[in-house]
Structure 1
Amino acid sequence: MLSMTNELLAQRIHRHGVHRNGEAIISPAGGLLGWLIDLRRVFLKKEALEEYSDAFWRLYKDRDPFQIAGMETAAIPLLSALVMSSPKERAPLNALIIRKERKTTGLGKAIEGDVTDEPIILIDDIFNSGGSAEKARAIIEATGRKIAGLFVVIDYRSRTGLRWREANAIPVQSLFSLSDFGLTLHPDQASPHQGYRQLWRSAVPGGFPYHVVPKSTPLLVGETLYRGCDAGKMHAFDAASGAILWEYQATGAAVQKGIWSSPAHYDGRIFFGAYNGAVYCLDAKTGREIWTQSSGEWIGASPIVVPQHGLLYIGLEFERPWAQGSVCALDIRTGNKVWERLTKKYQHGSPAYWKGGDLILWGTADHTMAALEAKSGKVEWVFPTRRSVKYAPAIDEERRIVAFASFDKSI
């Protein structure tokens, strides 16, 4: 039985938030949906926010002090309403806004507001699969805090949502369920489910998490993991325990960038670039420097090694106003440059090797995908795109196909 306040709010949701199959409702897969709930229009109404706040505080007014947090943008009016309606006998209510994507400018924050030590109640309008709640949970836990509970307007009680709350041991409280609006979910098929547990964690000082870009990915060789970091260090970790076996400092790397290049391994050696413009070759077992080659001002691309030619391929970046990048091949024994092709823009993209054609395939910020002879660097073909290509392509040797994504939103 709904209270009077909840009944009024339910009527508003019926009128303004529930859309049925008389309207064209497109699913994420491109098909048609029978119904959709969208509460953003509902909570642009003053009366709805008042009814929501009244319902919340009837449940939470006697709780010990807590703070509230919500993911933009649906939760913002809800957070504001709760802060404004907080009972006078309680201490001021602290609120946090969690960004869907970390800002790439300004302070680059993922959370707006000051996180205190009080328990955090996560606020949202709808709880379905748990995708938004999981993102919020991960961001909050990165601050060293945990979510004490989740409060939502409508709980779908979907299979994935139930699994999420069980896995994270987070209680979910709601004002309504789908049945209050005469709606049901289609029975979803049980999907394969894998649980994970943390085996180890190794914190490395100097990280800067606010660049929204691909960074140095870990490379597993035998029982050792290799990975670069923002602090300009290449680390070797014991894969079983996470213990640091060795670390190598790339001096002079750009502040807060360090090593974004993913390492490559060949014949007991590790190869990578750094944001000081140098390419490095280290002994994989000890971290001892074998050679280093200063090739440009910065390197953010990742190398590949083609052993039959004895060459390493990597992208370079320059401070000069002309030919600000290049793609090049270095001798893996010495680091000496064997060939180089200049690009107009910074060369962020990393290469891939097509064995069948003995070609290096390389996307560029010049809005191209180029195929170069591996040994000589001679251009075999160039495919134009409308924007930059900053990721290494995928190659199907058997079908002789190369696939890649461009910043023009095309594959």
Structure 2
Amino acid sequence: MVYAVSSSDGRLHAFNFDGAEQWHYSASGSSDNYMSAATDGGKLFFGGGNAMNCVDIATQTEEWTFTVGAKVTTTPAVCDGVVYFATGKNEKKLYAVDIATVTEVWSRSLYGSLSSPAISDGKIYIGDKEFVIHCFDAGTGTEIWNRTTGCGDFGVYSSPVVAGGMVYTAANYDKGTIYCFNADDGTPKWSYDTGNWNMAQPAVSDGTLFIGSDSGYLYAFRDPPINGDLNHDWAVTTADAVITLQMAVGAVPAIDEADMGGDCRVTSVDALMILQVAAGSINA
């Protein structure tokens, strides 16, 4: 089944894969929506006017409505029994609402948001209209870090995506800069100016970042491999040395990242060098 929220009639529609509509649901005050619905545990969550709605998929009936002080402007994210979403002008908050009890777990002020939240490893990531991307603790709402991206009148509309210990997003101004930050502490890793406005949400597959731009181009980025990082976890550890030894004896195929000595072969010497990198004695 495919679920979509219409911006023309404000309804939540359910379609078969052949395009035939099976049912729809109308929530009060739900017109002019530009967000998607989220599913979890047999339930659908979507914003409608000044409320977050929860609909039972099996019965197609409303389970509950949680009213807020302004229009819900983001697609919700659901994790561990909590639904997260943000509101727009007149309130400008990020909410965490308990699904079972329909009570507010916490809320935090933002400068408005059209960027939907992303959840990873107990953290919530979201951008706002002041070009700031925030990272909050999902359980407590405590802000862990924030970073300013661009400048201008529109802010971060691009919903962040988290992969490989990094968070990716884009700023919606004339440079259309794409950003990569360390997901744990917000340390900037790289950025790239597309030269045009950017509201698209990035996607990551097999280590490659894909994102579209108002320039009419689709961009693909891939971080260069780290020498010695053979299990591709973005760190050089003793586990990589073990893999190197397996390569040295032919138990597994050798790859370029294992050739620490640069002599076009993988030996136990390379494993020793990886151990030294892991210990901080030498650089990769």
How many percent of aligned residue pairs carry the same amino acid?
21
Please point out which of 326, 331, 340 is paired with 2:132: 326
Is this contact kept in 2: 1:364–1:390, CA < 8 A? Answer: yes
Question: C-alpha displacement at 1:290, in angstroms?
Answer: 0.8
- CA-based RMSD: 2.3
Which residue is equivalent to 1:43?
none
Which residue is equivalent to 2:79?
266
Which residue is equivalent to 1:311?
123
Question: C-alpha displacement at 1:194, in angstroms?
Answer: 6.0
How far apart, in 2, do the equivalents of 1:362 and 1:336 lie?
21
2:42 maps to 1:235: no
How far apart, in 2, do the equivalents of 1:272 and 1:382 lie?
27
2:176 maps to 1:351: no
Question: C-alpha displacement at 1:264, in angstroms?
Answer: 0.9
Question: C-alpha displacement at 1:289, in angstroms?
Answer: 0.9
Is this contact kept in 1: 2:37–2:44, CA < 8 A? Answer: yes
Query: 1:305-342: CA deviations, max 9, x gaps?
Result: 112xx31100112xxxxxx3211101112212111111
State the TM-score, normalized to the length of structure 1. 0.46
2:68 maps to 1:250: yes
Between 1 and 2, higher relative CO (CA 8 Å, sep ≥ 6) is seen in: 2
| Larger CA Rg, structure 1 vs 2 | 1
Distance 1:238-1:387 versus aligned 2 partners, 3 A rule? same
Instruction: Kindly indicate which of the two structures has a greater share of residues assigned to helix.
Output: 1
Structure 1 residue ranges, 4+ long, deviating more than 6 angstroms after superposition: none
Which residue is equivalent to 1:407?
214
State the TM-score, normalized to the length of structure 2. 0.65
Query: 1:158-199: CA deviations, max 9, x gaps?
Result: xxxxxxxxxxxxxxxxxxxxxxxxxxxxxxxxxxx9645433
Query: Where does the alignment leave 5 or more consecutive residues of structure 2 unmatched?
Result: 1-5, 10-15, 219-284
Which residue is equivalent to 2:114?
300
How far apart, in 1, do the equivalents of 2:46 and 2:109 lie?
20
Is this contact kept in 2: 1:329–1:337, CA < 8 A? Answer: yes
Is this contact kept in 2: 1:277–1:316, CA < 8 A? Answer: no
Distance 1:360-1:238 versus aligned 2 partners, 3 A rule? same
Please point out which of 100, 116, 120 is paired with 1:285: 100
2:35 maps to 1:216: yes
Query: 1:346-369: CA deviations, max 9, x gaps?
Result: 2211101122xx110111114111
Is this contact kept in 1: 2:131–2:171, CA < 8 A? Answer: no
Question: C-alpha displacement at 1:232, in angstroms?
Answer: 1.7
SS in structure 1 at match of 2:105: strand
Please point out which of 351, 373, 386 is paired with 2:195: 386
Query: Where does the alignment leave 5 or more consecutive residues of structure 1 unmatched?
Result: 1-137, 143-192, 318-323
Which residue is equivalent to 2:169?
362
Which residue is equivalent to 1:132?
none
Question: C-alpha displacement at 1:273, in angstroms?
Answer: 0.9
Question: C-alpha displacement at 1:234, in angstroms?
Answer: 0.4
Question: C-alpha displacement at 1:220, in angstroms?
Answer: 1.1
5 Å-filtered alignment, 1:99-248, equals: 195-209=18-32, 215-229=34-48, 231-248=49-66
